[in-house]
Amino acid sequence: MNAKTKKKKSKPQPWRILIASGVNLDLLGMREPHLYGSQTLADMEALLQSEFGEIAELNFFQTNAEAEYLAALSQGWDGAVINPGAWTHTSLALADRLAGLKLPFVEVHLSNTAAREAIRHHSYTAPLAAGVVQGFGINSYALGLSGLLCHLSEVQS
């Protein structure tokens, strides 16, 4: 192989990660701040980008439409951090989708759902997750992403 035909050593590609916030999380910052804090989704995005932006390709997404949420999960990500909001407690369809995609994901919640009303204690999606982080406001997303990256490193080695 001469210099011209020599293949360039390919740079390892950063993981493509989806950060998917579901129903009503667009209201973050003004919605029940005693439960969810006063920081916004934009604050969460800036936090994750500053902490992890150099080691992972972060793709942020929020919708109030369940079909859009399911479609977003299906775009060939290496992993996802999901906060499905109330769909956590209601959506068998979301759990079926995640099981079908075999997508490695961490479930996060701003509030500690275990300390809230009984209806929030059940999660359809948590049994499929690599792990769950809840109760730390927007830091739950950062902790969840850190856990997801550890998980991806472990399964790839």
Applying CB under 6 A, the residues found at the interface with ligand DQA are 24, 83, 85-86, 88, 109-111, 113, 120
* Backbone angles phi and psi of 74, in degrees to 5: -95, 20
Q: Which is nearer to ligand DQA, 14 or 47 (CB)?
A: 47
Structure tokens, 6? 């020599």
User: CA–CA separation, 112 vs 120, rounded Å?
Assistant: 9
In the complex, least distance from residue 86 CB atom to ligand DQA, rounded to whole angstroms:
4
In the complex, least distance from residue 94 CB atom to ligand DQA, rounded to whole angstroms:
12
Per DSSP, the three-state class of 10 is: coil
Residues annotated catalytic, as ranges: 36, 109
In the complex, least distance from residue 80 CB atom to ligand DQA, rounded to whole angstroms:
15
Does the CA dihedral 60-100-93-131 come out positive or negative? negative
> What b-and-e string marks burial along 100-132, b requiring 16 or more CB atoms within 10 Å of the CB?
ebebbbbbbbbbebeeeeeebeebbbeebbbeb
Q: Which is nearer to ligand DQA, 3 or 67 (CB)?
A: 67
Q: Which is nearer to ligand DQA, 91 or 113 (CB)?
A: 113
CA-nearest of 45, 50, 37 to 20 is 45
Q: Which is nearer to ligand DQA, 24 or 49 (CB)?
A: 24
Structure tokens, 90? 């209601």
Structure tokens, 146? 């850190």
In the complex, least distance from residue 70 CB atom to ligand DQA, rounded to whole angstroms:
17
